[in-house]
Structure 1
Amino acid sequence: MTEVDNHYYAIKTTSKQERAVADSIFRTIERRLLDIKVHSVIVPEELKGYVIVESPESHSRIQELVESIPSARSVVPGETSLEEVQHYLVPKPVVSGIEEGTIVELIAGPFKGEKAVVKRIDIGKEEITVELYESIVPIPITVRGDHVRVIERKGEE
């Protein structure tokens, strides 16, 4: 089967249920509850409320699948192409969008809950160096980029 045989459909989901819908699609296909072929399901982080399904099936067959999945609402009319979904397949560095001077909250580790200012970013290692916001003595702490949540970007006030 070639890429030309496959179609890409966007499925509208209930908000914050994208992963659950993808898991339900996988379970339905795995258990052969419906005789529908699905090659992949993409849950793009930046595309809230949607999952993308790659399948050789027709739009009506995917709609039939969606009707059996809780929290899946509908199939968006028409289909998309691999070129349009390909950029969702390339992972973004977890430190993208964070720059020096940004105020973050640590969401993991021993300083969880503390606010800090970003002092340095290492994109290659996906780490940032921060200084605790309310610390008397500024001590640089290096943490993984996914261990912080941006509170206030530099220049936003």
Structure 2
Amino acid sequence: MKGGKQMRKRKNRQKIFCIGFAFCLWISGFTMVSADNASGMDKSYIKNFTCTNNIGNTKIELNVSADVWSDGPYAQINKIIGNDLNVTSDIPYIEFEDYNIDVWSAEGTYPTTRLFYTYNGTLKVKVTDATPTVVIEELEKEGFCGGEPVSGITEYIKNIDECGEIQLYQ
């Protein structure tokens, strides 16, 4: 009886996660996922995945490194080695602050062939009177909100909440 109750709880958590995950994918828009090519390699190696989210001229890249084992056509992810976020933009003074990253096995255990990821944080841009109007227009078009100027500097912010899936066989 107790085992059945725990199993129902686990299934309910999985359903809630799947619904939340689907909503997150729907709300976050389109994110590109790519992986380096390790074809022809056998046994253990490091595989790097890059998940890219474009916001106007700003690019956020989540880089995930995984320990992968392969033998012929079969492969599996044994563990996550590391991850980091990079922001590139032609907008000066842009920073990604207070961010969190989480990457985990889609099945909840390793080895796996699928990973889920999520990251969130705040993109901040400091704008001065000398900032071209076209930059401010782009920020506003992409959903950045500007605050009140302090000492001639206005801070524009945009909260980012992104999630997705990485598949070993993509």
TM-score scaled to structure 1, two decimals?
A: 0.24
Task: Select the structure that is richer in strand.
Answer: 2
TM-score calculated relative to the size of structure 2 = 0.23
